[in-house]
Amino acid sequence: MHVALYARVSTVRQADNDLSIPDQLRQLNEWCKSNGHLVVHEYVEPGASATDDKRPIFQQLINDAMQKPQSFEAIIIHSFSRFFRDAIQFGVYERKLGKNKVKVISITQQTGD
């Protein structure tokens, strides 16, 4: 499957103490390799909160995912909080992407489907 990676940290402290962007990308790439997925794009958003969608790289990711034909079939993230912290907003974007047959997949958290 062709996939895009999305990595984000919200603060310098988080980048230093939590999961840095290089760590996220390393884990995401390793997961994709071990699961047979081809990474076609990496979207990196440093210093951006996931409480709203006013993130330039996030918006570019969504716009690219909604293109027809799409260049990737899934967005791979470390955890769902990297994509969106608000569950309702997460659901809105998950449904929007699903209409174009693009999935959101976390490498550390499973969903019911």
The residue extents of the domains of the chain are: 2-106
Which one, of 98, 62, 79, 86, lies nearest residue 28 by Cα? 79
User: Whole-prediction pTM value?
Assistant: 0.86
* Residues in contact with 112: Cβ distance below 8 Å, sequence separation at least 6, in sequence order: none
Mean pLDDT score, 70-92: 86
Residue 7 sits at φ, ψ, to 5 deg, of -125, 140
Average pLDDT over the chain reads 86
Q: Is the peptide bond before 69 cis (omega within 30 degrees of 0)?
A: yes
Selected residue with higher pLDDT from 61 and 109: 61
Domain made up of 2-106: CATH architecture? 3-Layer(aba) Sandwich (3.40)
pLDDT above 80 (res 27)? yes
How large a percentage of the chain has pLDDT more than 70? 84
- The two structure tokens encoding residue 105: 């997949």
